[in-house]
Structure formats: structure tokens, C-alpha cells
Chain A
């Protein structure tokens, strides 16, 4: 496997005992994990082909503990890899041998809910779905819905600026967070933003969201909650070809209709997801669109009528509306479990490039050619409305040669995304996975500016340092 890690700092590794003893003075014993067996469980995230055993793992319970830990690490030159639920597909939470892992899993409380202002203050280790669950009884929800929303934390969402199936309508994480409490590497606690809409000064919040744990450790967040629509109805549209489905998406948007979600699956993905969720996906279709509309029944009927008319012009073969909450749940369960369900048939790596939607047919064809040229298979699941692709390259991870091929195919696909005017990652983040491809999207000047900003927050490059920026040519102030 081709991605290099920095050479561990032996001086730090040799001081492991002292570092652990220093940490043990800052947090209770159940928050400090040091045995080899137990540390190993934190050696990777959802990108399991890369693994590094951390020096230790800390699971603090308060902002004050986080501050004490970071100040200690800063003084002692110890690297820190922040971790939410460890669901990153980009290796965003993979440790290093000379780093500690700082997990926020124990900080999972709701601190305050204000329905009038439609805001909620939470600790950052709470899961995305738990936020919505907390306010569902009053008809509210937290909008960004990454597929891993059941498990992923708001801390991780903030780190990666996570999106989801419904961001076409509701935006991504950065559009739904009003403020954070963050601990800087020197232990300073800063409040950025608040429960008001516009923060003062530079938009530091916008900078922090999506910074992949390199600027600080977020311990609390103020999120926006939104009223749920009166109803929601996903509709399955089966097409013979991906081209037809792609053209249909463009036509819907062109007609001025923005459904809350437009999801695409190709034939392999349909089969995989149907086998798990029994959602009634059309198994005879070559491509499937899940289009969801919201509103009152009459409003949804009216909107769907327009959409169905367009779909018919584009050769839709089957149209199936969800008839009940149970069916709706099954339809989304199938889509949101697509990656995991793929695990039933093969190992996979999941790409996350975004392309201009006009390029869909061309890019899908090229992806197929690329993956075939490596003798592998691919299943495609993606957010069609915004061009965020998730090709799943299937392979056998116990076969090193095949694993390398899968990685190379993935790189080729991402380069293709950039070539057609898109980007390397739409919502999963760069992590280690796309780090070495950054120069395909950015010039050294672009990266230099980003790194100089990064270094303002963490001059010694202690926070999640193996990620995002190519290892050579790093800049400090």
C-alpha cells in the first residue's frame, strides 16, 4: 500500500513511560489507555488498510481535561491525533507511533436546547443522529446527514465538514453550525461564534470546519436545528442506463426543482443494498435514482407530478413511491448502509470526488474503464444532485497485489475528477488517503497559503500532522 507515514520521532517513543505518567496526572485512570492490547483497537478507523499503534489513548470527559492534555503535549512535543467515532473513510483518525489519540467519545452530552432560537449546544462526542433524536419529539432535526450519522460524532463532522444525502436542500456542516468551543494546542480555550448568526471578525468558524483536526480540538458545538417538513416521500426511479438517470437529474434541476435529495445507485450497488435493506429497489434497473420530496401530501403530489413528467421524458422504466414510514425508512436504510453492506461481498475502498454534474455520463464511463483496466469491479453510489461521487472499488484486502491495484485505480479516478473541473473530496476529507494527490488540485502556492494559516494555530505541527498536506515541502511560520 502506497501511502507513507512520517518517520516516527524516536526520542518521543523512548519517553513513552514519562509521557504516560505525565498524562496520568491529568485524567482519571479509566480515561487513559496504555496497554498494547487496548491501544491496538485505536490503530485505525474505517480505512483499515492503514494502521499505526499510538503511544497511548486518552478519553477525556471535560474541556478542562482536553486543555490540560493539549498543553502537556505541546510542552513535551507530543503529537495528538483527535478522534471522534473513528468512522473516517479517508484515514482522518489513523494514529502515528509517536502520537497519542485523543478521543471525544466520552463527551456525548446535550448541554442546552433552545427551540425558540432553533439552536442546541452539545458536547462534541455526541453522535450526529443523537442530536436529531433529542429534538425529534418537538418536530425538529439536525440537517446534515452523512451516511454514518448513526455512529459518527459532531466532532468528526466538524473536522471533515461532512455532508450527506440531504445537503442539496439543507447544506453541509459548515452551513449548520453557529459556534464551537475549541481547545488550541497550547491549552487555550476559545469560543468561536455563538448562538447568533454572524460572528465577529474573520470567519474562523468557517476555517475550523473542515480543518481535519489540525487547528484544535472542538469540545462543544452550537448547532442549528430545523423544523421537520410536514412529510417526506422518497421515490424510486429505475432507469436502463446511467446516462438516462444522469440526464434526468440535470433536467430536474434545469426545471428549477430542487428535491431535498437525489441519490444515484448503479446496478451492483442496487443489488448489494437491496439484499441488506429489502427496500424494494428495482433489481432489473441499470441505474436507480432515489428522489425525495418534502411537504404536505398535496405539495408532495404536485412536486412529484412535475418530477415524474421529466423522468418519463428521460426513459424511466419504474417509478415507485414510498407508501409508509416503514418503507421510507427501508429505502434510506439501504442507501445509508451501502458502504457497509458492500462488505458482505468484498472489501472496498470508497472514493469521494466531486464533479460538475454535466460531466456525469462521461465520468461514469471513464470510472468503469479505469477500474476494469485494473481487473477490478466497481459499485457506484452517489449524491447525484451535487455531483459527489462514491465509487466503491471492490477488491480482496488479503491479496497485497490487488490492494495496490485498488488504490491505484482510486487515484486515477480522483485525478479524473480534478481534470473535469471537480475536486478530490466532497465530504469525507483528505485524511491520509488523498494527501499525496493534493498537488493535482492545488499549486504549491495554494498549499503554502493553507499551511501558513494552519501553522498559526499549531506552529509545531503537532495536531494530526500526517494528514491533508503532502509530507514534503511543509511550511511553518
Chain B
């Protein structure tokens, strides 16, 4: 294990001190592939972690990997793949959807708390992240967590930082627990189900003992004939048995066939990256998180006032939705449909003027807003980092 690159880390600390002194807010980026997400930057200067690269620890037998925050995600995944391991949370790649270029960094993955279809079983980035080092807005180097997967020592700032979109500090190093890559992966496909039945089928699959690791539904319009997908991963013998068992269990919904290998992998990559909604490029794209049993009703409700294309992941718990980027890009209608359901909507693609005008992330209740502002203040009292990116005024 090599020590964190202290030189680059120190430079970063110096930059923060300089910004503090000059009272210059900073846009924190890795390689900038997701910089179009969130409210538009309100800072003149940019601080990049791109100089902080390199894997600092990989112990395959302990299932742990650590890397400096500017390390390309691809490098981390490659290193793991060499040892037949993977990041369990299947981080999505936003480049197709956003049309951005560059190599996503591992720090960016953490800042955005990325996840993918395996979220339902293996969690999001937050669930695999076990340690962070970051520079806070006072120019202090703070560490939380560590390199062991079970650790409840002190407040869990690891989770808090994960998904904070660079508003709390500049990550310098991140550590993950990892999993072995499954030996075999196959996807059961049911055709022709409507949204409600598809979600019921996915729920039945996810309620089965077969460890479904992906559960998506592509309605008519996304696919020519709607396709309901359930992914199984594991040992060879396991998959053979489970494909058959699950097929029988879901027979009451529709007959199923299955795909494997590259075809299955490509399918889930598309689901992960929401490539179905890349076109038309000028459309706005929303990501809605909701309890699966409410998903189809929400979509029906939204369709009453908006023309949309959509598909579901996470067994119906995640809705991807594309619609024309006019007016508020559907914000009011979507949020009113979600009111009281416990669901959340995030505008992940939209023109800057709309992103400046509406709440990109789900607005907070007054009490949560007070807490969020307090936490921001505790990390970054001068409001240096990505001010207003998540919430106007914070």
C-alpha cells in the first residue's frame, strides 16, 4: 500500500486556503463528466482533483480497494477485474445521457453517489464506500471511516459526504469494499406486460429466494414490445437452476425466455446508463425514486398532463423519464404527482436556465433545510464549495 499522494493533497489544501483568503467560491470537479447535473455553478474558479490519481490499496483477499479521488473509474474497475472482482454498486456512466466527454473519476462517483441496476441487491455507492479523506472548507484534511468493512467508530461522515455533490469538501481518497465478479449472469425476459403487471412481476421476482440482481421494465415505446427484465448472477449451477425456477414462478404473468453473456451485459448497460432516453437530445430527463407499488400510478398521473417516455429500474423503484425541455420541464406536474408519496424527483438533464430556475433536487422540508444548511456550515463555513449546486442558497 502506497501512502496517499501527499504532495498533491497538500497542493489541494493550499488551493483551498488561497480561495478562503480570497473569498473565491470554487467549483469542485473530477473530470467534469457530470458538471451539467445540479443547479448551474455559481463560482468563477474550478478546483479539479485530476492530479490526485492512483490506486493506493488493493487487497483482493480482504475485498477492499482504495484510490485517490482523481483516479479514473475505469482504472479502478480494470484493477478489480484483473482479480475477478468488481464494485458491487455498478456505477452508471452519465456520458451517453449528458453527451459529456472525459474519463469519470472515482471521486466523482462518490460525490454523486452513483449506482446501477444492482442497487436493489448490493446498494448504491454509499453502501460500498467505507472510507474517505477530504479537505473541508476550512482547509483541514478530515478522514472518516477506514479500510475495514465493519466500522461504527464515530459519526458516519462517509455516508454524509457520499452524494453531497462536492458541497461539503474536496475528496482526496476513497476506499470501497468490493465483491467477487459473478461467474455467470443471465437475464429472464418477459414480453408484452403493461406497467402495472410488469412491476407486479418484478416484485414477485424480487420477493423470490433467487437473489434477483436486476429488475427493469421497458414499456412499449422504449422497446417495440414491452420487455420486463430480471437478472440472475452467481455460480454456473446456481444460474441454471434459478432461471428455470424463476421462470416457473413468473409464468402466471407471461412466458419468459432468457439471454446471456454479451447480450445480457449490453442490455443492463443500457438500463444502467438510461441510453434509451438519450434521444431526443434536447429533451429533459428526470430520475424518480419511489416505492415500486406506487410507480405505475405516478406515471399514469404524470401522463395526464405531460407527454413522456419512460422506463423503470429497481423493480419499479426507479423511474427514468424524458420529456420536452419547455417551461419548467415538467417540474411542477411531476412534483405534484409525487406529493405525499414519499417519492423524489431529480432533473438529471436539462438546459442551464431551467436548472437555475427550478429545484433540480427534490426540495427539502423546512426542518431538513435547516439541518442541511447547518451541516454545510459545519464543513464549509465560508460557502466555498459548489455553492447552490444542490439547493439554492446552501
Contacts and interface: CB of A to CB of B under 8 A. Distances in A.
A230 to B, nearest CB: 5
A424 B148 CA distance: 11
A229 B209 contact: yes
Given A206-B159, A356-B64, A453-B378, A387 B148 contact: yes
B379 A201 contact: no
Contacts of A468: 154-155
Interface in A378-423: 383, 386-388, 421-423
Contacts of B317: 117, 196-197
A425 interface: yes
B260 to A, nearest CB: 18
A72 B85 CA distance: 53
B155 A456 contact: no
A342 B337 CA distance: 56
Interface residues of A, number: 95
A343 interface: no
B345 to A, nearest CB: 9
Q: Give the 10 A-B CB pairs with smallest separation, nearest first.
A: A206-B159, A194-B342, A256-B180, A456-B374, A200-B362, A426-B150, A452-B378, A195-B291, A354-B148, A450-B155
Contact of A203 (B160, B179, B241, B291): B160
A457 B371 contact: yes
Interface stretch (A27-35, A327-335, A438-446): A438-446
Interface stretch (B48-56, B98-106, B123-131, B261-269): B123-131
Contacts, number: 260
Interface string A285-328: 00000000001101100110000000000000000000000000
B289 A197 contact: yes
A438 B146 contact: no
A453 B160 CA distance: 10
Contacts of A449: 136, 140, 142, 144, 157, 378-379
Interface residues of B, number: 83
Contacts of B378: 449, 452-453, 455-456, 477
A313 to B, nearest CB: 15
30 contacts: A116-B207, A116-B293, A118-B203, A119-B291, A139-B207, A172-B152, A175-B127, A188-B367, A190-B368, A192-B368, A198-B113, A203-B126, A203-B164, A210-B156, A211-B156, A228-B209, A229-B209, A257-B180, A296-B245, A356-B62, A357-B61, A386-B148, A421-B146, A429-B152, A430-B152, A438-B153, A452-B379, A454-B155, A456-B375, A468-B154
A254 B156 CA distance: 28
Contacts of A115: 207
B321 to A, nearest CB: 15
A262 to B, nearest CB: 12
Interface of B: 59-64, 84-85, 113, 115, 119-120, 123-124, 126-127, 136, 140-144, 146-160, 162-164, 168, 179-181, 183, 200, 203, 206-209, 235, 237-238, 241, 245, 289-293, 314, 317-318, 342-344, 361-365, 367-368, 371-372, 374-375, 377-379, 390-391
A72 to B, nearest CB: 19
A184 B365 CA distance: 14
Contact of B147 (A184, A230, A356, A447): A356
Given A160-B152, A196-B290, A302-B235, 19 more contacts: A116-B200, A116-B207, A118-B203, A196-B344, A197-B120, A198-B124, A203-B126, A207-B157, A227-B208, A229-B209, A253-B63, A299-B238, A302-B237, A358-B62, A383-B150, A438-B153, A445-B141, A449-B136, A456-B371
A171 B292 contact: no
Interface in A445-477: 445-450, 452-457, 468, 477
